[in-house]
Amino acid sequence: MMKRLLVGTAAAIVLAALGACGGGMDGSDGIGSVARGTIGYSAMTLKNPFFKIIADNLTAEAERHGFDVVVTDAERDVNRQSQQVDNFLASGVAAIVLNPVDRIAIGPAVRRANEAGVPVFTSDLQAVAEGVEIAGHVGTDNYQGGLLAGEAMIEALGEAGGEVLVLHFKQANSCVLRVDGFRHAIGEYNRDRTEGRIEIVAELEGGGLRDEGYRAMADGIQAYPDLAGVFAINDPSALGARTALEQAGRADQVRIVGFDGEIAGREAIRDGKIYADPIQYPDRMGVMTVQNIVRYLDGEDFERVHLIPTELYRQADAEQDPTLD
Q: What is the mean pLDDT of residues 39-67?
A: 96
CB proximity list for 124: less than 8 A, separation 6 or greater: 50, 51, 54, 99, 138, 139, 140, 174, 280, 282, 285
> What is 8-134's CATH number?
3.40.50.2300
pLDDT in tens, 217-228: 999 999 999 999
Q: What is the mean pLDDT of residues 110-126?
A: 97
Task: Determine the pLDDT at residue 191.
Answer: 95
Amino acid at 186: I
Residue 43: CA atoms inside 13 Å, Cβ hemisphere, count? 28
Q: Which superfamily does 142-281+314-318 belong to?
A: Response regulator (3.40.50.2300)
**Minimal CA–CA distance to 118: which of 37, 35, 26?**
37
The DSSP-derived string for 195-247 is: SS-EEEEEEEE-TTSHHHHHHHHHHHHHH-TTEEEEEESSHHHHHHHHHHHHH
pLDDT in tens, 129-182: 999 999 999 999 999 999 999 999 999 999 999 999 999 999 888 899 999 999
Phi then psi for residue 69, to 5 deg, are -135, 135
Name the average pLDDT for the chain.
90
pLDDT in tens, 260-307: 999 999 999 999 999 999 999 999 999 999 999 999 999 999 999 999
Residue 21: pLDDT over 50: no
**Minimal CA–CA distance to 287: which of 126, 138, 128?**
138
Residue 91: pLDDT over 50: yes
**Quick one: DSSP state of residue 159?**
G
Task: Determine the pLDDT at residue 31.
Answer: 40
Whether residue 268 contacts residue 239, with contact meaning beta carbons closer than 8 Å, is answered with: yes
CATH 3.40.50.2300-classified regions of the chain: 8-134, 142-281+314-318
